[in-house]
Structure 1
């Protein structure tokens, strides 16, 4: 997609979560993506991953004791991002807030209640200064079981389904679909790895990325 005009000297970045639901069919990597409605005021018409902005209620959600080990792992994964903190316990609370954001958004948009233990901190992309809307977006890689069947139940998208990464990239190159730069960057990175096994073997600590 073409970059919008850089007309705003400073707009604060809002925190958001986006979920890359990934599966492997034989040797083909597939992701679940949405086709955003052309009436949306952000990323209109683009092919995107499910997700959305953090709500105030997300910071109040209690996952319970059984999820605390997962939240500590997530806090380590996000330690170099804006979710990290030197204040004891704060980074775990921030990780819980963002995990809740991601799980809530996926359920609202696809009807699927993903389990926390399949959610892996994956990337943190921050919109550069100069855009009318900016996001500090935390991407998760999720590998749901085969019986998980997401559906398009949001008015923000006209369609949604599983597609091979190769077909999405080819559609963008042929100008049949529109990809935002962060989406394309993440898809190219995933397809280069070649397998879910190779992806999950990566260092879990995320480094923020700016400038895309």
Structure 2
């Protein structure tokens, strides 16, 4: 079942900042959301902000920075899809955290209008005379849900550094909480069985754990190639997949 389902394009943003506690630097942190238990897809799982590409993401958007052709080459896909993925990444981050990757701010009222599909991101940018800043994003990875799943996504992962003067909040009804955390701490919670994460999220955190700073992470040049994991677990067992010789397991709360 699900082998004939075309994966839906999706964009996810790993929003980064340099952590500080009591005036001391604590290292790179990433913003994560804990999804509510009632979600049809990935309930009670910790994720990065993101979601599926909407039809409005394909329209013209005021844009500055690397152009659509550059993003097409960086993401290994056609120009139209690359453009919609970049717009979706910026829109989803804005909807779910309030952080806008543009050359100026937008209001909470405008964010709500985008989240409720009463306005598009392009509408907000044009009203505020703003431009999307694609140079604030970095291409990172592309994971495709294996065949046989009732919901399949062709998910592209991006990096973004938290812009000066902005802060992330948990603003989506799809999550019950949001927080900044060091990748190593999130991985330790997962290993202890107290935090559930999907395999792509685990893989991204392992990558980020190697980054010494936000600047180092944002300076990396990545070749984005599509990865489709192989499911190793049997029906009814906790999800376990293998990709590039690495095995990742989904842990449930309290497991």
Using structure 2 for the length normalisation, give the TM-score. Answer: 0.71
Higher RCO structure (Cα 8 Å, ≥6 apart): 1
Whether 1:8 and 2:2 are equivalent positions in the alignment is yes
- The CA distance in 2 between the partners of 1:70 and 1:77, in whole Å, is 11
State whether residues 76 and 205 of structure 1, in contact with CA within 8 Å, keep that contact through their aligned partners in structure 2: no
The count of aligned residue pairs is 194
Offset of residue 44 of structure 1: 0.3
Counterpart contact for 1:27–1:195, Cα < 8 Å: no
C-alpha distance 168-57 of structure 1, shift in aligned 2 (>3 A) = same
After TM superposition, list the pairs within 5 Å mapping 1:29-68 onto structure 2: 29-64=28-63, 66-67=64-65
Matches within 5 A, 1:107-186: 107-115=94-102, 116=133, 117-186=135-204
Structure with higher Rg: it is 2
Residues 1:105 and 2:92 aligned together: yes
Residue 190 of structure 1: aligned partner: 208
Residue equivalent to 1:77? 74
Q: Secondary structure at the match of 2:156?
A: strand
User: Which residue of structure 2 aligns with residue 22 of structure 1?
Assistant: 16
Give the gaps of 5 or more residues in structure 1. Answer: 1-6, 85-90
Per the TM alignment, residue 118 of structure 1 is displaced from its structure 2 partner at its CA by 1.0
CA RMSD of aligned residues (A): 1.7
- The alpha carbon displacement at 1:146 in A equals 4.5
- What's the offset of the Cα at 1:27? 5.2
Q: State the shift of 1:194 in Å.
A: 2.9
